[in-house]
Amino acid sequence: MSPNPILAAEMQAAASEILLLDAATLAIVDANQAARLNLGFDAATLESMDVYAIAPALERTVLATLLAGLGEEIGAQIGMRTHLRRRDRSSYPVKLCFLRIVRDGRRLLLAIADDLTLEQGAAQALAQSQARFDAIVRNTPGLVFQFVHYPDGRTEFPWLSDGCPALLGLTVLDLQRDASLFEGLILPDDRKGYLDCMQASRKTLGAWNWEGRIWIDAWNDVKWINLRATPHPIEGGAVQWDGIMTNISASKQEQHEVVRSRSRLAELTDHIEQVKEQERARIAREIHDDLGGNLSAIKMALAMLAARLPEQPALLEKANYLDDLVDRTIEAVHRISLDLRPTMLDLGLVAALEWQAREFEKQMGIACLFRCAKEDKDAIALDDDHATALFRVFQEALTNIAKHAGATRVTVLLRRQRAHLTLVICDNGRGIEPGDRLKPQSFGLRGMSERAKALGGTLVLSSAPGGGTMVTIKTRLAAPPTPRAAAPVQNQQTGQHE
């Protein structure tokens, strides 16, 4: 480049690509290192080229017009965007600025090219990201929002999606002008929960999850909405949430229907159990009274007939056989009656549980210890349905222990705690696995749980101390009857009420 003007040392070392051009022919006079490296040409090759050789996208007439408008004034400049082509024929976007200078009396143009590859890549990525975001927002059921709470208590919605009118009955402009309009939609009963939840999220910077009801005047309707947002602090001590609101009225209605259906089912189940217990009691009573009475009469008649039989061994043997058969039948009637409705229930729950514990120990050979404080025995008074239901839960628990636990000892504790009654049944068996409760045919456990719920109580299965299983049934005691006021007594002499 010897006789030609050359770039100053500062320009040679610059990061931007700098080309020195002849103002008349646009031939390349010099190029700095950045230009040579990026274009892939050496200095000698570049000196044999003009600007159109490395920028083929430039239109000669357009560039000539622009340069003509640049004027002859030193320091005047114009800028444009185009593409430069490398030696390997690849191209890259640049912002190209032309500046008039004079060097050694020669008019020149300084062309400064800034590579826009990263800028355009970032812009393209941003556009793609924005397009994806817009697509997600358009297909998101509900309202996507940004909400800001300032230290002085002010609130605003900097951004809201187009789902605002459909969900809230307000336009985006309405809420951006006055963010308090949203709080005004919330029903008074739910507003405190909304504010408390927001303040807790602001304080801890934890997720803001809230469900509540809003009233839409335009539609004369109540909606359930779910709000979920993530907070982050912004300058000035404010907190901004990015989140989404959705209409959950349908799911809430379904939940309420499920609750109501379960409540009706529980009532029906409780009614069926009561009817079943009443039918058991009726059948037990008829078996005991009718069959038991008839069998007793048959036994007495057999005894009278046996006393009058002649002394014939065959006849006496037959009479004794019939007498034993009647005794076994009486025992069977008694056992069936007890299974249907233990007569001990008529003496109270404590007596019935003590009797069942003794029967279990006698029949199964498993030690069964029943404990109840003496002061509690006198204080526990339940109506028949309540006592029977609790007794059946106890029976089912003992049946499960006999079938599945492999236990050698059972401990039963009945205690009264103010207005509650707690029955705890512990065994020293193999214990119960979590999956056992979910088995399709585990009707015993489900039945026990449903009976406890019908009593307004709870049933909890847990591991017993030292191994085994502990069943805890907790239910409310019936409120004691309110004492009636004594009827006024009329004084026979004065006629006045005392």
Q: How confident is the model at residue 223 (pLDDT cuts 50, 70, 90)?
A: very high
Q: How confident is the model at residue 214 (pLDDT cuts 50, 70, 90)?
A: very high
Quote the pLDDT of residue 498.
Answer: 40
Please check the confidence at residue 484 and state whether its pLDDT lies above 50.
no
The residues with which 476 forms a beta bridge, in sequence order, are 420
- Identify the residue with better confidence: 219 or 3: 219
Nearest 10 degrees: Cα torsion 435, 440, 442, 443: 150
Mean pLDDT in residue range 16-33: 91
> What are the residue boundaries of the structural domains of the chain, listed by start?
9-120, 140-247, 256-340, 344-476
Quote the pLDDT of residue 79.
Answer: 87
Distance CA 206, CA 225 (A): 20
Q: How confident is the model at residue 444 (pLDDT cuts 50, 70, 90)?
A: low
Residue range 9-120, CATH number: 3.30.450.20
Residue 50: CB atoms within 10 Å: 14
Residue 276: CB atoms within 10 Å: 11
Q: Classify residue 419 by its DSSP letter.
A: T
Domain 344-476 matching CATH 3.30.565.10: the answer reads: yes
Distance CA 146, CA 130 (A): 16
* pLDDT tens column, 163-213: 889 899 999 999 999 999 999 999 999 999 999 999 999 999 999 999 999
Please check the confidence at residue 122 and state whether its pLDDT lies above 90.
no
In Å, what is the CA distance from 78 to each residue of 19, 67, 68, 75, 171?
Answer: 15, 8, 11, 10, 46
String of DSSP letters for 131-167: HHHHHHHHTSSSEEEEEEE-TTS-EEEEEE-TTHHHH
Element (H, E) at 478: none
Superfamily of 140-247 according to CATH: PAS domain (3.30.450.20)
Domains 9-120 and 344-476 share a fold: no
* pLDDT tens column, 381-394: 777 778 888 888 88
- Identify the residue with better confidence: 336 or 481: 336
- The overall pTM is greater than 0.85: no
Averaged confidence pLDDT in the chain = 82
Q: How confident is the model at residue 435 (pLDDT cuts 50, 70, 90)?
A: low
Mean pLDDT in residue range 21-45: 92
Quote the pLDDT of residue 84.
Answer: 93
Please check the confidence at residue 309 and state whether its pLDDT lies above 80.
no
Please check the confidence at residue 303 and state whether its pLDDT lies above 70.
yes
Q: How confident is the model at residue 496 (pLDDT cuts 50, 70, 90)?
A: very low
Backbone angles phi, psi at 463, to 5 degrees: -80, 135
Q: Classify residue 3 by its DSSP letter.
A: T
Quote the pLDDT of residue 491.
Answer: 45
* pLDDT tens column, 369-383: 888 887 777 667 777
Residue 401: CB atoms within 10 Å: 24
CB 99 within 8 A of CB 86: no
Quote the pLDDT of residue 378.
Answer: 67
CB 106 within 8 A of CB 131: no
Mean pLDDT in residue range 351-356: 86
Please check the confidence at residue 486 and state whether its pLDDT lies above 70.
no
State what percent of residues in the chain have pLDDT above 90.
29
Distance CA 202, CA 138 (A): 28
Quote the pLDDT of residue 482.
Answer: 45
User: What one-letter code names the amino acid at 43?
Assistant: A
CB 459 within 8 A of CB 437: no
Count of positions (residues) in the chain = 498
Most confident of 159-163, 311-315, 418-422: 159-163
